[in-house]
Structure 1
Amino acid sequence: MPSRDFKRTDRVGAELRREIGTMVHAAVRDHGLPSCSVSDVEVTRDLDFATVWVTALLPAQSKEAVKALNELAVEFRRTLSRQMRLRRVPELRFKYDDSVDKGERIDLLLRQDADRPVSDENDD
């Protein structure tokens, strides 16, 4: 029996990421939401819940974007049930992915540290 490289939850999560990414892009355009995109989808083992991680172009508007997407989650789920071949589409929960913001902050700190002159402690 061949070994499976991916778990079913991984395959479902990847398919959800593609479909939801398209729907979020359309929602941003149609509903005037702050610009955001889907970075990842994590599905529980029982496929009951899916956490959709989103990033915002402007981090200051992230709370507004996540709130609006959570309000649209029922509509997204209904659309997914028509588009995907799943017995039961997971309940969607949108959360803000701050990893990009943290990465930019680390990059900024490293650049500031690189610009700082190195002092030689052995100059006594």
Structure 2
Amino acid sequence: MEIKELSHKLTICKLKSIDDIDISKEFYFIGKTDEEISLVCKTEEVPENIVERDDGWKGFRIQGVLDFSLVGILSKLSGILADNGIGIFAVSTYNTDYILVKEENYSKALTALTNAGYTLV
């Protein structure tokens, strides 16, 4: 399986309102529940009206479109990273999964995954 590095630094935020989000930006993940509104975005594009933020994340995605019948992909990746002492923040889209790790663990994460047989593209 192939993984693709994301070139930008990322921030995870908690927002007061979705009105604060400029959805014209290229890279945003928005999660809204009855308890909170979360946003993952490029660090330089963090909205002004945030409740909390956590900077210093980098990410990669599983390359290609994943069929919904596939089982255990995210579990396997997160297990490899957990075995190497690396915490994650995972986000799934309709097409694929994204895994974010703290910047200081990014190289270690990529090394662990390539050692486990994943290919960087």
TM-score, with structure 1 as normaliser: 0.27
| Structure with greater helix share of residues | 1
Structure in which a larger fraction of residues adopt strand: 2
Structure number with greater Rg is 1
Higher relative contact order (CA 8 A, sep 6+): 2
